[in-house]
Structure 1
Amino acid sequence: MQSTKFDRILRRLATTLSVVILTLCLIYITTGVLLSFYYQPIAGGAYESLRRINTEVPYGWLFYRAHDIAGNALIAIALIQIVVMFLGRQYRKSWLIAWVSGILFTLSAIGLDWTAMILTWDQEGYWRFNIELGTIEAIPLIGGQLRDILTGGGAISSVTVQHLYTIHSYIISVAAITFAVVHISALLWQEQQMYAEEHNSELSNLQASEG
């Protein structure tokens, strides 16, 4: 497939976006670690601990706000990245790792946002999570088991907050940073390969014209 100038611009944009994704991911995880020093993953203490972070902890409001903005931005940038890669006609088999890691990272970013909804323990998060639990339970064969894993086998309680906090902090966060690193590595490697191919093609054309 012949590479046009527009394709090269989109490939460079995809690489730039992968850097942005990794940066936002690091900000999200770093601020999350800082918030974890004061956050209490229990039903009665989650909301109160976040209130103290926002009002009493020095610069706590800044870390909380940066954590929230980075999480929302991750989803938006990851979706834009997929569109950019598609428009850049990056369909070769060598792009497989970049595609798979990009899609898995997008799912991880959505998962981070989804698991965080109950961690604030406010009315909006509680009822939204309660409604979505009904959707999960309706999944054939495994719906009931998934609901029990998330809630701890009963109603929404402190155990639910602890389960979601564990999944959010120790499983999905690790997966997200891993996929972000793999994604940027795959794009950088692919860009080097494409640059080498274009350079060799230019040399061949130059030699042919001189001959």
Structure 2
Amino acid sequence: MANRQTVWLSTMMILSLMLIGYYTVGQNIQPVPTTAKDTVTQTDKPDMKKDDVAKKSTDNTNAGKKEEPSAKDNQEQTNAPSDYFASAELQEKKRLSEQIAELQDKIANNKTSAEEAAKAQKQMEELQTLSDKQDAIVEQIKAEGFPDAIVSKEDTGIYKVTVQAQDLNPNQVVKIMSIVKSQLNVPNSNVIVSYHP
């Protein structure tokens, strides 16, 4: 019975995350260069081909009218960054909880040897420690003046750090990398820092 509930709960979590991912807008993450020679740029301007022609024709028809942004538009603009970070954090926590659930099932399985169970227990503790360290990194980044951040670990061992900012200068990137390095004890080559407005 517990296994059915676990499967059902996991399925519902996956479906809800798929919905969140579908409705989340503004997934434009810009990687930040790690060398001082590179520059950070962000382009949110659409191509000015067909859109420009269509805009000119509508400008002529609406010349005397002024459009004011609605409250809904303002809410979408202010919630977009927080929605992105909330969604990304939820996905990372979901990924970690799924891995922990798999390890717990492995430990609870009667067919699992004592050696495999001990290995699974150790992996589960490492995942919990990683989650705690990720939370600590986010708090330290917020203490540096960034409104929000998310830290995720890829299967390749690369840690991706995305901070809420309009842009990042090289000094900020170095500071973020040093925070990650001090918490996780990984080389800078295993850390990718990017920003999301």
Q: TM-score, normalised by structure 2?
A: 0.37
TM-score after normalising by structure 1: 0.35
Which structure has greater helix proportion? 1
Higher strand share: 2
The structure with higher relative contact order (CA 8 Å, sep 6+) is 1
